[in-house]
Amino acid sequence: MVGLRRAAPDNPAGGWLTVLASQLKHNSMDSPLLQRALISVSDKLGLVDFARGLATAGVQIFSTGGTGRYLEEHGITVHDVAEYTGFPEMMDGRLKTLHPKVFGGILCRHDRPDDMAALVEHQIERFDLIVVNLYPFEETVARNEVTPSEAIEQIDIGGPSLVRAAAKNHSFVTIATHPEQYSAILEQLDAQGGTTLEMRRRLAGDAFTCTAQYDQAISDYFNRLESTDRFPTTFQKSFRRKSILRYGENPHQQAALYSDAPPSGANLVSSRKLHGKELSYNNLLDLDSALVIARSLPLPGVVVVKHNNPCGAASGSSLVEATKKALAGDPVSAFGSILGFNQAVDAAVADHLSTPGLFVEAIVAPNFEPAALEILTSKPKWKNNVRLVQVGTVSNNSHQSECRFIAGGVLVQDANDQPDDESQWNIVTEISPDDEQLQDLRFAWSVVRHVKSNAIVLVRQQSIVGAGAGQMSRVDAVEIAIRKAEERASNSVLASDAFFPFPDSIEQAAQAGIAAIIQPGGSRRDPEVIDACNKHRLPMIFTNARHFKH
C-alpha cells in the first residue's frame, strides 16, 4: 500500500470509497502496518542503520533537506518533503514541515472514516512513523560566547510540532525522539510489520517529556537574560533515567539513577565504568564525594572516602606517595573505602593498591594508564571486586548550583566548590604560622569543607592524620580527631569548619601538641579563643568564611 489516493473520476467502480474501505480493513490500533516514515533529525547518531532497516522492511522514507541529503549520501532512497507538499523550504530552514499534507498524514485517526476520507479528498499520504530530534538548543546556550541571535535560531518550531502531533495520535503513529529507541522499533517492525500500542504509548510519553524539557530549557534561557535575580521565580529541572539500581541506601528501598542534561564537565553520571560490578546507590554517593574532594586537592592528590566523609586525603611529590599517605590517614576506616584521584592512575599506584590486606570498593579517576588498568583488572585479588570509574579531565571551577529535596519543596544554593580568597584571611594571634604550617593549613582548609559538620580535620605534611565528623558539639569533634590521629596529632595543624564557641577546644588542641589552627572566626567569644591560643603560643588564622556541610 503506497498511500490513499483519489480514484479517477471516470471509474466509479473503483471510487475512493472503495479504496477507503480497503484501507480501513487493514488498520488496527493494536499494530497498524508501518508503511511510511518521516525523518527529520539534527543528531544523526545511529540514523543510517535505522533508516536502512526501515527501507529493507519496505517502509517509504520522507525527509527534509539536510537529513535527506545525509541519507542519500549513504545510499538510502528518500522522498523529499518539499516535493511531496509542493511547497519549498524557505527562510533558512525555518519553514520546512509545517504543512497540512504533513500534519494531516500524522494526525488522521485510522479508525475514523471521515479522517481517512479527508486524506483521499486532499491527496494526503499517511505517516506511520515520525523520527525527530530537536535542534541542539541546550548545547548551544551552554557555550560562554553564544549570542542571543544564535540561541534564537536553535529554537526548533517544526520539530516539536511534529513530535507532539505524532505523540497525540500514538494510537496509530509511532514517534521516535532518541537513537536509543531505534533498535526496539526495528525489532517489532521485523516481527509484525508494525509497533504495539504499548510501545507507542511509552514512546509518546518519552516524546512529551522531550518537548517539555526543551521548552523548559528555552524558558530558563530567557529568564536568565531578563532577570537580575540569582534565583528565578520558577525553578524546574528535568532528568532522564539512566539506570535502575539494585536497591537504594538499604535493601528494602528501591532506587534509580537519573542524569541531568546537558552534561557539563567531568561528572559521575556521564562517567565510564571500566571494570567491576554494577555501582550501588551508596557507591554512587561516595564516588561523587570522592570526585568533588579530589578536584579540590593540590596535584597530585588522593582522597579516601568512607560513608561520604574523607577518612584520608593527601598530596605528594608523586601520585603513589599521595596514595600511601592518604591510606595511612586512617588505615582501619580505609578498608572497603572509595578512592578518588585528581590525576591518571599509574602502574605504581596500582601496584601499591594490590598490597595484601587492602580492600577497596571503587576508584574514580580522570583516567587509568594501560599498565595500571592491566594490574587492577587481571590480578586474582581484584577479579570483579573493584569498580573502576573514568571521568575524564577534572578541574576545580564547576561553580554549579546544588539542590536538596525536603518535604514539600526543594532547597537550591550555590555549590560550595570555589576556593576561598586568602586576602580575607587574618592572622589573629601574636605569632604567625611558618611556611610549612601555612601549607598544611591551606590543605586542611581545602578538606574540612567536605567533612560533615561539626567538622575538625588534623593535617600533617599535607595529609589528613585525624578527622572528627558529624558531631553535635565541636569539642567532641576535636576529641575524636585527636584520638584518631594518636601520636601524629603532635605538630599537626587543625582546621575547623565553623568558629569555636568556647576556648575549651583550644585547650584540647594544645594538650595534644597541635601546632597551628585555622577557623572562620565570628564568635562573640573570639577574644577568649585568641587569648587561649596566645597563652599556648599557637598561631591561628581567621578565614572569615564558614564551611558547614549538613
Average pLDDT over every residue of 361-385: 88
Q: 503 near 479, Cβ under 8 Å?
A: no
Residue 29 has a pLDDT of 53
Please tell me the distance from the alpha carbon of residue 494 to that of residue 137, in angstroms, as a whole number: 48
Residue 395 lies in a domain: no
Average pLDDT over every residue of 236-241: 79
* 16 and 122 fall within a common domain: yes
Grid cell locating 256: 534509580
Query: 222 pLDDT exceeds 80?
Result: no
* 426 and 386 fall within a common domain: no
Give the domain range for residue 328.
264-390
Residue 233 lies in a domain: no
* pLDDT per residue as tens digits for the range 11-26: 333 344 444 444 444 4
CA dihedral 70, 75, 81, 86 (to 10 degrees): 120
* pLDDT per residue as tens digits for the range 102-128: 888 898 988 888 888 888 888 888 899
Please tell me the distance from the alpha carbon of residue 136 to that of residue 155, in angstroms, as a whole number: 8
Mean pLDDT: which of 53-67, 254-268, 384-398, 419-433 is highest? Answer: 419-433
Tally Cβ neighbours within 10 Å of residue 234.
9
Radius of gyration for the chain, computed over Cα atoms and rounded to the nearest angstrom: 31
Q: What is the CATH number of the domain that holds 205?
A: 3.40.50.1380
* 18 and 145 fall within a common domain: yes
Average pLDDT over every residue of 189-199: 88
Q: What percent of the chain has pLDDT over 70?
A: 90
- Provide the CB-side half-sphere exposure for 494 (13 A, CA): 38
Q: What percent of the chain has pLDDT over 90?
A: 55
- Catalytically annotated residue among 79, 178, 277, 307: 307
Q: What is the DSSP letter of 463?
A: B
Query: What amino acid is encoded at 85 in this protein?
Result: T
Helix (H/G/I), strand (E/B), else coil: 85? helix
Residue 251 lies in a domain: no
Q: What is the DSSP letter of 501?
A: S
Q: Of the candidates 390, 412, 430, which is a domain's last residue?
A: 390
Q: Of the candidates 390, 413, 432, which is a domain's last residue?
A: 390
Residue 137 has a pLDDT of 73
**Phi/psi-derived region of residue 522, left when phi > 0, alpha when psi is between -120 and 50, beta in every other case:** left
Grid cell locating 111: 479508525
Q: What is the CATH number of the domain that holds 537?
A: 3.40.140.20
Grid cell locating 443: 590543605
* 19 and 123 fall within a common domain: yes
Residue 372 has a pLDDT of 95
pTM value surpassing 0.85: no
Query: 99 pLDDT exceeds 70?
Result: yes
Check residues 224 and 374 and name the one with the higher pLDDT.
374
Grid cell locating 383: 577479579
The CA angle 175-177-181, to the nearest 5 degrees, is 85
Q: 418 near 547, Cβ under 8 Å?
A: no
- Catalytically annotated residue among 79, 168, 352, 536: 168
Closest CA to 29 of 191, 198, 197: 197
- Tell me, yes or no, if 44 is annotated catalytic: no
Residue 34 has a pLDDT of 79
* 306 and 173 fall within a common domain: no
* 70 and 208 fall within a common domain: yes
Looking at 13-135, which runs of residues are DSSP E strands? 36-41, 60-63, 79-80, 129-133
**Mean pLDDT, the chain, as a whole number?**
86
* 216 and 290 fall within a common domain: no
Grid cell locating 392: 575524564
Q: 391 near 366, Cβ under 8 Å?
A: yes
Residue 291 lies in a domain: yes
Instruction: Kindly give, in sequence order, each residue whose CB lies less than 8 Å from that of residue 333, ignoring residues fewer than 6 positions away.
Output: 304, 306, 311, 312
Helix (H/G/I), strand (E/B), else coil: 310? strand
Residue 167 lies in a domain: yes
Looking at 169-238, which runs of residues are DSSP E strands? 174-176
* 343 and 433 fall within a common domain: no
* pLDDT per residue as tens digits for the range 161-191: 899 999 999 999 999 999 999 999 999 888 8
Q: 240 near 259, Cβ under 8 Å?
A: yes
Please tell me the distance from the alpha carbon of residue 388 to that of residue 355, in angstroms, as a whole number: 17
The CA angle 178-47-200, to the nearest 5 degrees, is 40
Residue 2 has a pLDDT of 30
Return the HEC string of 394-441: CCCCCCCEEEEEECCEEEEEECCCCCCCHHHCEECCCCCCCHHHHHHH
Q: 106 near 169, Cβ under 8 Å?
A: yes
Q: Of the candidates 366, 390, 414, which is a domain's last residue?
A: 390
* pLDDT per residue as tens digits for the range 240-278: 788 999 999 999 999 999 887 655 567 888 889 999 889
Query: What amino acid is encoded at 363 in this protein?
Result: I
Of 124-133, 194-203, 210-219, 271-280, least confident by mean pLDDT is: 210-219
State how many domains the chain has: 3
Residue 252 lies in a domain: no
Per-residue pLDDT band at 1 (split at 50, 70, 90): very low
Task: Identify the residue whose cell numbers are 604550617.
Answer: 437
* 174 and 319 fall within a common domain: no
Check residues 429 and 4 and name the one with the higher pLDDT.
429
Q: What is the DSSP annotation of 371-394? A: HHHHHHHHSTTTTTSSEEEE----
Q: 128 near 34, Cβ under 8 Å?
A: yes
Per-residue pLDDT band at 148 (split at 50, 70, 90): confident
* 63 and 161 fall within a common domain: yes
* pLDDT per residue as tens digits for the range 447-456: 999 999 999 9
* 200 and 94 fall within a common domain: yes
Q: 429 near 473, Cβ under 8 Å?
A: no
Residue 265 has a pLDDT of 63
- Tell me, yes or no, if 550 is annotated catalytic: no
Residue 382 lies in a domain: yes
Query: What amino acid is encoded at 301 in this protein?
Result: G
* pLDDT per residue as tens digits for the range 519-542: 999 999 999 999 999 999 999 999
Closest CA to 493 of 466, 514, 507, 513: 514
* 173 and 314 fall within a common domain: no
Instruction: Kindly give, in sequence order, each residue whose CB lies less than 8 Å from that of residue 35, ignoring residues fewer than 6 positions away.
Output: 1, 2, 3, 58, 59, 60, 126, 128
Residue 298 has a pLDDT of 93
Residue 480 lies in a domain: yes
Per-residue pLDDT band at 96 (split at 50, 70, 90): confident
Residue 4 has a pLDDT of 31
